[in-house]
Structure 1
């Protein structure tokens, strides 16, 4: 697209915040994405604002050739495999929620670029837009599992491993809260200050919101190339450069973390092979160590060349959900997780992203993310880690706390 002729600047220094509040007031569906200038193999999310008025139905999602933005919920797996999700939901969420954007703005430091000319009155309205003085972003949150219960669940998974039913399971726990009022826009902006991630996103579907600081790509399609980038392996950052480097080296050399990462990388190779040309699936990077604001992550990159004629639905059926959020082998492990987890994941550990009008797409994994409904006045977020036979349950519990650290700080007002 040629955006050069449709550039718009604003008078105020806080124009991005005003733009989001103006968009919320005028559109029932919106999505804001940013890669926070991270260096990431095959790029990050672009800096976009998508605005829409109507939700797509299932046929339009799978078959309509157009821009589409939205979420694939984790429980969509039940449509692709003989699986169920019996656990209670915090509030109702659709298995997928997409809209076709009426407007797409590319965000630059000095202003926005639109694919079509926008009314001049919009620019004036955005400049005049008021930002709420009292921004409610804190919320009392409670764990669904006590630490003792968590340790018991990990022991149960390790028993399943001994019985040969799984090799690695990404067990997740949830935190939930209720509120009278909550400001998802301010929450997103604050979370993005606390933890700048390569796949950050704010998504609104009427009263339901996703506030996401995701570090992980699920799947990207560019032409006939597919890219998957599973994360397995986490260690904290340190303020002292010498200690920070020690932690980075420790993660890279950890046999446990490398074994976990390799299992999921092999799983993703298998998933991609279902829709890829024979011999085209390759591991482009194995055990890459990426520096994020609070943690180092071990990330591998798998790429392949698509079989000609394979469509979006066939790709998702072959690869969804992300193997890093299930474990291996995928189907039996998801059955075990549904038995042992205490909540319906809903949008958590699903995928958020967009498909363009050429059929290319980019999706993140919905982790390190808050899901809230302003009508239900409820929110929740999930966090998980990989359980293997040699995993320390107490260490995995600490790793979950590390991954959720920025969200805890946001919601507790630290």
Structure 2
């Protein structure tokens, strides 16, 4: 394969649209878009990988098999995903709720073609980069479909959410856990959508640093994730959990007031501290002694719909700990479980009304040449089984003893708003 660079003739958004529509011919697609967010650890502004030369798909003994696959395929980009329910392999846990999406527990592939943008240049790695570039430039977007006719429903009524909230509070009062991320599913059946068009609309409505589109066969991930799970850069592991959410204001003055209230909120700070401690403990198992540190605490980052409180925890990886063992020690993201982690996951399994699957899992890539990786947390994301025409997304929030049921329920609806807007749909009550 050859690598060639080309000048970007269109705007980046226009090129992304053409490249994604061009990629629709392939069974395997992975697209990451930082949406121009400043990120000292990010490697790509955007990156599209298509067509599997080699692939890995597993539901059992996933991590051991994945390690062998990565060792066998030196490559600078091996994109893929890990399901939240890999927790059942890592810990003694079970998930009994039904799964209507049918994603595998993990999937990765070695791409035949990778396309990345930096500055005003496009870099293409392929057998014939010139032909790929010309084909993308000649691609025209298909006619937009008529407005979607989707009936989006919640797996729980508001009353059922309140009942689940009360069960979590009972566990907190007994001291079983300090915090739990309680999630609920929203879904549509008989959903006939164009996944690429929906993703592009979602990214326009909610541009985020860890946005991604992923396709494998009939399965699609359309994500507007604002959260990094874990990255490795030059031997350092970095995690950036989000805990703390507030709606955007109408004016800059209102936004400043909201941010100040977040920074002074005992509830928001307490939620964030608990997850920072959890992530520090998780990273300690993979770190050289004394290198785990919380380098930035309680930073507020503002997105189109929400303000988020984000902290950064890092360490130097112990060279005797493999990258796959790092995932054993840290997965799934603590921001999506609660604390203590195993107890929180067990309680979620008992109380939640649907299987999380890819939601709260992770999409990213391994670079087996540089010995690096970068993975997001699958939140603010649509999951779609095109064969079954089943569309699903979850939202959730951290519950502590200070939480109020109505506020937490409204936070779930706030987090759903961008997805509903991208679908041009309203939630059916």
Equivalent in the alignment of 1:195: 206
- Post-superposition Cα deviations, 1:54-105, rounded to whole Å, max 9, x if no partner, equal 4214566323243311110000111111001111112212111111122211
Q: Distance in 2 between matches of 1:81 and 1:244?
A: 41
Check if 1:114 corresponds to 2:113: no
CA RMSD of aligned residues (A): 2.2
Equivalent in the alignment of 1:36: 35
Check if 1:166 corresponds to 2:187: no
3-state SS of paired residue (1:404): helix
Asked if 2 retains the 8 angstrom alpha-carbon contact of 1:174 and 1:343, the reply is: yes
Asked if 1 retains the 8 angstrom alpha-carbon contact of 2:240 and 2:310, the reply is: yes
Asked if 1 retains the 8 angstrom alpha-carbon contact of 2:112 and 2:126, the reply is: no
Give the 3 Å change call, closer, same or farther, for CA 102–223 of structure 1 in structure 2: same
Asked if 2 retains the 8 angstrom alpha-carbon contact of 1:140 and 1:412, the reply is: no
Match of 1:380 among 372, 389, 392: 392
Equivalent in the alignment of 1:186: 197
Check if 1:403 corresponds to 2:415: yes
Give the 3 Å change call, closer, same or farther, for CA 105–345 of structure 1 in structure 2: same
Q: Distance in 1 between matches of 2:145 and 2:117?
A: 24
- Post-superposition Cα deviations, 1:182-239, rounded to whole Å, max 9, x if no partner, equal 1111111111110110100001111110000000000010121000111000111112
Asked if 1 retains the 8 angstrom alpha-carbon contact of 2:298 and 2:311, the reply is: yes
Equivalent in the alignment of 1:349: 360
Equivalent in the alignment of 2:252: 241
Following superposition of structure 1 onto structure 2, how do residues 248-263 of structure 1 map, counting pairs within 5 Å? Answer: 248-263=259-274
Equivalent in the alignment of 1:104: 114
3-state SS of paired residue (1:134): coil
| Structure 1 unpaired stretches of 5+ | none
Q: Distance in 1 between matches of 2:119 and 2:292?
A: 38
Q: Distance in 1 between matches of 2:377 and 2:111?
A: 21
Q: Distance in 1 between matches of 2:268 and 2:227?
A: 17
Cα offset, 1:412, TM superposition: 2.7
Q: Distance in 2 between matches of 1:109 and 1:160?
A: 51
- Post-superposition Cα deviations, 1:111-130, rounded to whole Å, max 9, x if no partner, equal 52113562543344333434
3-state SS of paired residue (1:100): strand
Equivalent in the alignment of 1:326: 337
Cα offset, 1:270, TM superposition: 0.2
Equivalent in the alignment of 2:226: 215
Q: Distance in 1 between matches of 2:188 and 2:140?
A: 28
Give the 3 Å change call, closer, same or farther, for CA 74–137 of structure 1 in structure 2: farther
Asked if 2 retains the 8 angstrom alpha-carbon contact of 1:229 and 1:299, the reply is: yes
Equivalent in the alignment of 2:318: 307
Equivalent in the alignment of 1:89: 99
Asked if 2 retains the 8 angstrom alpha-carbon contact of 1:177 and 1:380, the reply is: yes
Cα offset, 1:109, TM superposition: 6.9
Equivalent in the alignment of 1:226: 237
Following superposition of structure 1 onto structure 2, how do residues 146-165 of structure 1 map, counting pairs within 5 Å? Answer: 146-165=157-176
Give the 3 Å change call, closer, same or farther, for CA 106–79 of structure 1 in structure 2: same
Cα offset, 1:39, TM superposition: 2.8
Give the aligned length: 412
Q: Distance in 2 between matches of 1:199 and 1:9?
A: 22
Equivalent in the alignment of 1:20: 20
3-state SS of paired residue (1:115): strand
Q: TM-score, normalised by structure 2?
A: 0.91
Cα offset, 1:45, TM superposition: 5.7
Equivalent in the alignment of 1:365: 377
Asked if 1 retains the 8 angstrom alpha-carbon contact of 2:45 and 2:118, the reply is: no
Asked if 2 retains the 8 angstrom alpha-carbon contact of 1:35 and 1:44, the reply is: no
| Structure 2 unpaired stretches of 5+ | none
Give the 3 Å change call, closer, same or farther, for CA 77–403 of structure 1 in structure 2: same
Q: Distance in 2 between matches of 1:60 and 1:102?
A: 22
Q: Distance in 2 between matches of 1:290 and 1:22?
A: 33
Which has the higher mean CA deviation after the structures are superposed, 266-275 or 7-16? 7-16
Equivalent in the alignment of 1:61: 66
Q: Distance in 1 between matches of 2:313 and 2:421?
A: 34
Cα offset, 1:301, TM superposition: 0.5
Following superposition of structure 1 onto structure 2, how do residues 269-280 of structure 1 map, counting pairs within 5 Å? Answer: 269-280=280-291
Q: Distance in 2 between matches of 1:346 and 1:296?
A: 26
3-state SS of paired residue (1:290): strand
Q: Distance in 1 between matches of 2:166 and 2:236?
A: 40
Q: Distance in 2 between matches of 1:176 and 1:87?
A: 15
3-state SS of paired residue (2:56): coil
Q: Distance in 1 between matches of 2:207 and 2:14?
A: 18
